[in-house]
Amino acid sequence: MADKTSFEMDLGNGGEPHQHVPLAGPHDREGKLTTNQGIRVSDNQNSLRSGARGPTLLEDFVLREKIFHFDHERIPERIVHARGSAAHGYFEVTDDLSDVTTADLFQKVGERTPVFVRFSTVAGGAGSVDTPRDVRGFAVKFYTKEGNWDLVGNNIPIFFIQDAIKFPDLVHAVKMEADRAYPQAGSAHDTFWDWASLMPETTHMLMWAMSDRTIPRSLRTMQGFGIHTFRFVDAAGKSTFVKFHWKPKLGTQSTVWDEALKLQAADNDFHRRDLFESIALGNFPEWELGVQLFDEAFADSLDYDVLDPTKIIPEELLPLRKVGRLILDRNPDNFFAETEQVAYCPANIVPGIDFTNDPLLQGRLFSYLDTQKSRLGTANFHQLPINAPKCPVMNFQRDGQMQMSVPKGRANYEPNSLAAHGEPGGPRECPVTGLHTLERQAQRDEQGDKLRVRAELFADHFSQARMFWKSQTESEQAHIASAFVFELSKVSLEQVPPRMVGNLRNVDETLARRVAHGLGIELPEKSAAARDPIDMGASPALSIQKNMLDTIKGRKIGILIADETDASALQTLIAAIEDEGATPFIVAPKVGNTTLSDNTSIKADGQLLGSPSPIFDAVAVLLSDEGCKSLINEGAAVQWVMDAFAHLKAIGYSQGSQPLLDKAGVQPDDGVVPHDKGFIDAATKRYWDREPMVRSLA
């Protein structure tokens, strides 16, 4: 029996065509290769020619269509957040929020809502690398029963600027310089620091950007934030302010700077690969959603404005209410169709959620919709499968480029009376269940003349930057100071570093002196503050090191072996690592079989030169005396151990490995232990006390 055509299958629906239901994809193993018009292709290897050696004929529509489509495969990349990685999953409610919002997805414990989550760097292009010092995007699309809700944030709870009108300036400054088109994916250059040093409101964000937050160990171990203050609205129309926090189940983890640099060389796709492989292995990334809920009275009691996106509310002052968990359990089927074409927009909200007057948020409500039209080429981008809501969509919007639905009937306007004549009249507004913008009486400071001004409390640019500094460990403070030194040392404009250090004197005098000393410049005058900073006290929740989880679950442990490695010791270690929910990864001089002590052989997961230790969270060196002799003059092996020690990781070792550790300069400490005596416990953490032994910091 002949294969049923897609047309015949369409006729099975009462003689009316389906809305674009393809029979099989062009590469379906069970189907037949066709053109985009469904015409089967007989030869996909040769163009149509006039004779075996003659010219190609213009009438070859198969060739023309294939080349035409290839020529247009790429769409404009995002101006920012161009390099991204994403996954499907679900959000599950663990504490219903029916007391503060009517949003359907928060009403019932156990309720699951499908999501698509995209992580990204900000400054680099789509072809840049995963691990530069940069802010990371954390965008979640909830496919709720009431429509799509996009919570579009970052891995940092604040932003550089207070007003959206400055966003083009920020991006122009941090992107590649206009006359030379470099550097790519980095802020360590003239134009960014020239601009930032002239914009004191960036100071708090700069503290975060120079911290280890911007060199995360993996996408799975990043926090996420909604950044802005939003509103929840309950059934009675009462409003509650809300801030959104995502906390990774594995805890927040970062790299050290030298490690981040070497990861760029080792694997340009380190974060993307880690996310994809973790999901493929069933180690599903998970985050907990916490919300900070507060009212107008609480907001008015603060020394800063909750509508200022450069400010946070410390968790110690307003604890999180944990309300749900986010699980990513499925990789995209096609990177372009999903990760690249997904279109987020902060203006996408559902009933029960509303906006505030945050001036940065207000600008984003326009900007995102506009940019998606520019990128995806049509106002119908919402019809792409990755963007399409999973609830019914009914309105009178029609036509436009790339229209993918087939509306029926005459009704394309409202109101109409066609139903009175027996024709479909189309959907109607619903005052009961429809989204209502919050009705509230304008406050005194929301009335008056039209002015280009900011609220007075927005002028405090240094108090929270000071709080962030005071909240860090000594090690983290050293990393921040050193990052400022590194970035500003790349600036050739002589007036910029002193101006930036002058701003830092408003944050902390010790920080400013350390940066000035690292740059070799005199301590400049303190810059004038528009509003005197206040001391807010420390917030321990802002420190990565103070909140790290002692676990190796979800981590990757590198094991260096060679011929004659003890087979029993290797198998015991592998089992112990797997029992803790971590992934062992065997590294050897050759990927092919390595002969173990019992004459059995094992295939390595990676070759020594291609699997440097920066890609692992901890390492073990399991070498025999002979195996160590074979590697001790191998530069890659020495560097493998040296980097693990310099990056403050746990090192487990066999007795035969000791000469290699000695040559690599490994000194005994709590993180350097025999592989069979406490290595698993040692591998749960980094050893920050080791750092002064391995590098100089500001």
Paired tokens of 590: 């050759």
Task: For residue 491, give the CATH number of its domain.
Answer: 1.20.1370.20
CB 160 within 8 A of CB 171: no
How far apart are the C-alpha atoms of 259 and 254, rounded to whole Å?
Answer: 10
pLDDT tens per residue, range 523-560: 999 999 999 999 999 999 999 999 999 999 999 999 99
Short-list 544, 491, 538, CA closest to 515: 491
Question: Which amino acid is residue 498, in one-letter code?
Answer: P
Let me know: does 597 contact 567? Beta carbons within 8 Å.
yes
pLDDT tens readout for residues 130-180: 999 999 999 999 999 999 999 999 999 999 999 999 999 999 999 999 999
Q: Is residue 604 domain-shared with residue 527, that is, in the same domain?
A: no
CA distances for 698 relative to 13, 513, 516, 630, angstroms = 72, 9, 9, 39
The two structure tokens encoding residue 90 = 């679900």
- Does 217 reside within a domain? yes
> How far is CA 226 from its chain centroid?
13
Same-domain check for residues 527 and 556:
no
More confident residue, 638 or 448: 638
Q: Judge whether residue 626 has pLDDT over 70.
A: yes
Q: Which among 331, 138, 158, 281 is positioned nearest to 219, based on CA atoms?
A: 138
Determine, yes or no, domain membership for 340: yes
Strands (E), 485-567: 556-560
17 falls within a domain: no
In a domain, 45, yes or no: no
- Verify that 498 and 613 share a domain, yes or no: no
- How is 168-190 classified by DSSP, letter by letter? HHHHHHHSS-TTT----S---SH
484 and 579: one domain?
A: no
Residue reference for tokens 């907001």: 299
- Residue 463 falls within a domain, yes or no? no
* Annotation says 154 is catalytic: yes
For 553, the 3-state DSSP assignment is coil
> 198 and 331: one domain?
yes
- Between 436 and 445, name the one with better pLDDT: 436
pLDDT more than 90, % of the chain: 80
Domain for residue 428, yes or no?
no
Confidence band, pLDDT 50/70/90 cuts, at residue 420:
confident
Sort residue 389 into left (φ over 0), alpha (ψ -120 to 50) or beta: beta
Is residue 597 domain-shared with residue 681, that is, in the same domain? yes
Amino acid 1: pLDDT:
35
Number of domains in the chain: 3
Overall average pLDDT of the 244-249 stretch: 98
Quick check: 242 pLDDT over 50?
Answer: yes
Domain CATH for 615: 3.40.50.880
17 pLDDT more than 60: no
What residues make up the domain containing 515? 473-545
| 392 domain residue, yes or no | no
Q: Are residues 535 and 575 in the same domain?
A: no
Single residue among 498, 515, 545 that ends a domain in this structure: 545
CB 196 within 8 A of CB 461: no
Q: Where is the domain boundary, 516, 545, 574?
A: 545
346 and 235 belong to one structural domain: yes
- What number is the average pLDDT over the span 402-408? 90
Is residue 396's pLDDT more than 90?
no
Q: Based on the domain organization, do 577 and 494 belong to the same domain?
A: no
Bridge pairing between strands 286-294 and 321-330: antiparallel
Residues 558 and 690 in one domain: yes
3-state secondary structure of 87: strand
The pLDDT-based confidence of 437 (bands split at 50, 70, 90) is: confident
- The amino acid at 640: W
* 589-619 pLDDT, tens digit each: 999 999 999 999 999 999 999 999 999 999 9
pLDDT at 30: 59
DSSP assignment of 268-326: TTHHHHHHHHHHHTT---EEEEEEEEE-HHHHHHSSS-TT-TT----TTTS--EEEEEE
pLDDT tens for each residue of 451-493: 788 889 999 999 999 999 999 999 999 999 999 999 999 999 9
- Average of per-residue pLDDT across 335-346: 96
End residue of a domain, out of 383, 399, 425: 383
Residues 561 and 520 placed together within one structural domain of the fold: no
Residue 345 has pLDDT above 70, yes or no: yes
Give the chain's mean pLDDT: 92
Query: In this predicted structure, what is the pLDDT of residue 9?
Result: 34
Q: How far is CA 341 from CA 89, 90, 206, 263, in A?
A: 17, 20, 31, 28
Q: Exactly one of 18, 20, 69, 81 is catalytic; which is it?
A: 81
Q: Is 517 a catalytic residue?
A: no
Residue 188 in tokens: 């360590």
Q: pLDDT class for 443, splitting at 50, 70, 90? A: low
Q: What is the structure's pLDDT at 25?
A: 47
- Tokens describing residue 625: 């005396």
Q: Which of 154, 283, 348, 506 is catalytic?
A: 154
pTM equals 0.91
Does 297 fall in a domain?
Answer: yes
Claim to verify: residue 522 and residue 378 sit in the same structural domain = no
CATH number of the domain to which 195 belongs: 2.40.180.10
